[in-house]
Every structure is written in structure tokens, then in C-alpha cells.
Structure 1
Amino acid sequence: MNYKNISLVIIFLIVSSIYSTANWSSENNLVSEDIELVTIDKYQSDNFSTRVRFIVIHYTSLDWENSLKVLTRPQYAVSSHYLIPESEDDSYPEDNLLVYRLVNENDRAWHAGDSQWEQRTNINDQSIGIELVNTSECFYEDHNKNLDYASNYICSFYDYDPLQINLLIKLLKQIIDENDEIKPTYIFGHSDIAPERKSDPGPKFPWQLLYQNGIGAWYENPTLDRYWRKFNNNEAPSIQQIQCGLKRYGYNIDITSTMDKQSFYVIRAFQQHFRPWKSDGIADIATAATLWSLLEKYFPESLDKDMNIICPSD
């Protein structure tokens, strides 16, 4: 046996072991602090998308001071990315209205709650939430047996401050420019994604003004008139067709073919957004014409050659 060769092999293994572990600390096999981490941005991939897909508009139902308290203190467990005050609020301390960022856009604010748009839930994970100081509010009596779901609430809606809306429009344009996943139909109110729980931003919110500034969705008046005449001169759409249309547009609604509680709330939310002068939850011809006009503009594939809605299969 060649002990000399064996000795050389043993020495080689020992040296190799020492060398391979030289860059590790002796405790817990952690990487040595002597090694500097360097990251390089020289190469960039085009294969990515932004986290943000939706923008949700809210009202606070409170003045500035209490809005800020609720949205920032841990005991309330609610937040938004932005808070915009309104003029003539005695609790607001500054001379000029400012836009306040409460949560970084890269982080998840807690503003949407249990909600859905299209087939997407967990809206907080995919959205930017904007709260507007406005004292509009709704009160419900869910357990009053003398009232049904169409009459168990009362709401007080107040006009929005023009300066506040001006700031909102500037903010929205900036957000949209930085997030290419945001489509016109992906800018909506809290009531659109949670119609049985929420009524904000309410029928006083100027959705049409936003559209005129290149933000969000709206219908074309000639198209609305065409469908209104069509439905007046022929058979009006059934509640099943209206449910199918609302689902096609993005609302979370089951196709039941009956005018039920969920349909009332979704229709009311749709009306508050697109027909705010008559948001009673009743599926009239004007509401149907508005819905068809929006589908033709943004989801033309949802209509057949006779302009009937192709109902979703799920």
C-alpha cells in the first residue's frame, strides 16, 4: 500500500474542505458579512406587468380630522393610498388643499373589503384606493321586518368640492400614466365592487366629468338614444338579459332570471355610476339602454348580431 499517496489525498481533501467553507461563518453556516452584495440593473426584462389593475373611489362620510384618524390609526384596521380633503372643512388645518398619500402605492391598503370585479376578488391586492373627504352617508335597518331590501335604508348625498375633484383628476391621470394595466372599466366606486355593502362615492360623484378628462368609462349619447328607441319600440330586455349584461360589464351578479335582492343592489350601483339622476334599483328601459351602450363600446364581443347579450356560461 502506498501510504504516501494516501497521505497526499487526505491533505488535499482537508485543504479543499477548508477552502470551500472559508466564505461561511462558523456559526449556523451563515454567509460571511465580509462579502459585499452588488446588484446590477444593466439588463432589463420586458416580461412583467404592474401590480395595480384597479382604482377604487370612496367617500369617507367624515370630516378631515376624523377621516385621517380612521385611516391611519391601527385600531380601525382600514386605510387608503390617498386621502383628499375638501374646502370649507373647519377641521382641515392647511390653507390650501393637498393630496395626502397615506400608503405607498407598492403596498396593500385596506380599503376594498369583501369585493369583486369580473372574476377577480382580493381587490385590495390589485388596486389603489382613494378616499375623498365627503360627509355623505347611508343608514340601514336590515332587521326591520316592516321594510324590504328596497326601502330599508335612507341616504344623504352631498355635492363634491370642485377643487377636490380637480386634484383627484390630476392624481388619477398620474396613476393611469404609471400603470398600464388600468382600463377605463377598471376605474370604479366602492359600490360597484360591493353593491350590497357600500354606496360610495354615491350619485353626486361626477363620473362623466372624469370621462371628459380622459378617465374611466362612459357611454355615447347617440348610442344610448338608439338603444332607448329600440327597446321602446320592441320588447324590452328581460331581467335575465340585464343580469347577463351587468355580469359581462364586470359586476358580481348571479344569473337567476328573477328581480331579486342582489339584482336590486347591483342595478342601483350601476345607476349611481351611470344614471345618477335616477338610482332606484329598478331595471327600466333607460337603464337597459345605458348598459347596452356601454357593452357595445367596451365589450362588443358580448353582443350578437341582433344586439342580444351573449350570456356568460359561468
Structure 2
Amino acid sequence: MKTRADLSVRDVPSPNFRERPGGRKPDMLILHYTGMKSAEEAIARLSDRAAEVSCHYVVEENGDVVRMVAEPLRASHAGVSCWRGEHNLNDAAIGIEIVNPGHAFGYRPFPPAQIESVIALCADIVRRRRIAPDRVLGHSDVAPDRKQDPGELFPWADLAAAGIGHWVAPAPVSEGVRFARGDEGPPVGALQSLLALYGYEIGVTGVFDARTEIVVTAFQRHFRPEKVDGVADRSTIETLHRLIAALKAVPRPEPGAEGAGQQGKAAS
């Protein structure tokens, strides 16, 4: 298995960073795809002052890593976001952009060399920063109304096998109970309560509204990617129950163990 020492890393400093408020240490890792036609285009945008966006690392399809902002600093990658009631997650998170054209430009599977590097980079970060497994998330988890990345083709199970992220085997897709847009009642409220308990930003209204459909879709992209349709079927609900039950076994390390190295010439 590849380690951080095996990674080819080059620095392309982004000017789009600032200090984390209150000297906060990062305790969350958010994974994205670049969603642009090429790696070069994405890196150029992430290093353009006028774009006002950035990330800490970019992982290219061949597995090479670009370091853009030093981990102790705040990069602009998550945007308007929320998890477990906390907003503005750029303050808390390290952001990794994974080169992939995304749903707008021909979404495709992530190459093995790229995922090997993602795993090595993430494993190093969660170890040094003592990031809890359930605080390794996708952009679509924390901004489900705006984002789809890293998407249903991203191999979260492979990361979990390497000790990264919170994961359970998804329940098989089958016939049976299902809730969809327009349904309402106590079972829908219970579903919303479970999604909120896990971390998603959702109101408990008892009505399967547009927001509920969006959040269910985001949940499926990450945790039940076999069928992403925004319908809370038996498989989706059972997988959610399994995840919540497994939370009891998730270790709760103290965050921010170690510095992330030197800032370098600008932001890396």
C-alpha cells in the first residue's frame, strides 16, 4: 500500500487563504471532485486570486499531488456548508480536490493510481490530525443542495478498508417500504430525525419535501451508491440505521495533533 512518503508532491501556492478563526485546528476532512474539464484548468482556478476559491491539496488522475494551502490555514473549498449544526466548515476542514470532470463534463470512475494517492494522503492527514472517521465527508454531505461531489462513483468503501471514514456495508436494494416527495407522517419525521442525528442539515417536519429529497440523495451518493434517486427505500433506511448504530464504536480522538509542515513560499 502506498504511503505519504511515496507520493509525488509539488507546490502550487494559492493566494486564497487566511488564518483559521481563533487559531482553530482542523478536525474535519472534506473530499471533492474538481468538476472541470482538465486538471490544469482546475489548478489554475484554485490558484486565481479573482476566483476566491482554493483547497489544501489536489490529487491528479495519475496520482500526483499538488499542495496549494498549508493545512493550518483556512482554504476556501466548502462554501456554504453545515454538519451537525456547525456552519462555515472551511473554518474546521482540510479540503482535498480530486481531479474528475464531474457530472457536468463526463463523470467517470476514479483511476486506481489516483485513489491509491487519495488513500495515502487521507491516511496521513487523519492520523496526524486525529480526525474522527465520521468527520471524513464528501462535499455533497455538507452542502447537499449545491453539490454532488465526489459522487456515487467515489470508492468510499476502499477508503474505509484503509481505516479512513465511517462506513458500513449498504443494505441490499429490495422492494418494500419507501418514502418519496409528497409523503408525510410520523415515519417521515423519524427518517428526518435520523438524518439530522447523523449530521445532515434537515428540519424535522414530517413532510417529505424538496429538502428531504435532496438530503436523501446526498446520503445515497455517499453511503448507498447503488441507486441514487432521492427515494428513501428500505435499503436507504436500513443503511442509515446501521450507520447510526455503528457511531457508538467510532473513536473520538482529540483533534489537531500535529502541525502540517511548513507553509512554504506563500500558502503551502
TM-score (norm 1): 0.66
Number of aligned pairs?
219
Which segments of 5 or more consecutive residues in structure 1 lack a partner in the other structure?
1-48, 88-96, 139-154, 301-314
The one-letter amino acid of 1:161's match is P
Equivalent position to 1:178, from 128, 137, 142: 128
Is 1:52 paired with 2:26? yes
Give the 3-state SS of the residue equivalent to 1:56 in structure 2: strand
* 1:1-314 → structure 2 map (5 Å cutoff): 51-62=25-36, 63-87=38-62, 97-138=63-104, 156-180=106-130, 182-220=131-169, 224=171, 238-299=187-248
Q: CA deviation at 1:229?
A: 11
Instruction: Name the stretch that deviates more: 155-164 or 253-262.
Output: 155-164
Maintained 8 Å contact 1:77/1:110: yes
The one-letter amino acid of 1:200's match is D
Maintained 8 Å contact 2:175/2:234: no
Q: CA RMSD in A?
A: 2.4
Moved over 6 A (4+): 228-232
Q: CA deviation at 1:193?
A: 0.3
Rounded to whole Å, the distance in 2 between the matches of 1:86 and 1:179 is 25
Listed one character per residue, the Cα deviations across residues 36-63 of structure 1 (whole Å, up to 9, x for unaligned) are: xxxxxxxxxxxxx971111000001121
Listed one character per residue, the Cα deviations across residues 205-229 of structure 1 (whole Å, up to 9, x for unaligned) are: 00011101111011156xx47xx89
Q: Which residue of 1 aligns with 2:181?
A: none
Give the 3-state SS of the residue equivalent to 1:251 in structure 2: coil
The one-letter amino acid of 2:118's match is L
Task: Using the aligned pairs only, state the percent identity.
Answer: 38
Maintained 8 Å contact 1:50/1:179: no
Maintained 8 Å contact 2:176/2:233: no
* Higher relative contact order structure (alpha carbons within 8 Å, sequence separation ≥ 6): 2
Which segments of 5 or more consecutive residues in structure 2 lack a partner in the other structure?
1-22, 179-185, 250-268
More strand by share: 2
Maintained 8 Å contact 2:123/2:164: yes
